[in-house]
Amino acid sequence: MTRADDIVGTRRAVDVFEAGCRQVDVVNALGVTAQAASRWYHQWRSGGREALVGAARLGRRARLSDEQIEQVEAALLAGPKTHGFATDMWTWPGSPT
């Protein structure tokens, strides 16, 4: 999820809360964790829509830009042989194949 996605998610969550829905409705509608929905709900209750403006930047800042992440993903999906390896099998456990 990109930062922009998170900002859109918090804004959509506020819309759901303002419509009188519950946190579980935000979880189901937006596909977020219960923890995120709870955090957003409590921020919204304590400070309204404006309280969620800064909520999008949690955790460390990304070291790669969204464009760089897309390039890495494309390289991984192209496969090892494309990059000069002898087999078409990545050896890192978190690799896509």
Cite the DSSP H helix spans in 1-97.
3-18, 23-30, 34-47, 66-78
> Got the DSSP string for 18-38?
HTT--HHHHHHHHT--HHHHH
pLDDT of residue 94: 65
pLDDT of residue 35: 93
CA–CA dist 40, 46 (Å, integer): 10
CA–CA dist 30, 39 (Å, integer): 14
Mean pLDDT by 10 residues, the chain (97 residues): 58 86 89 89 88 65 88 91 88 67
pLDDT of residue 13: 86
Kindly list the domain boundaries of the chain, sorted by start residue: 1-83
CA–CA dist 37, 9 (Å, integer): 10
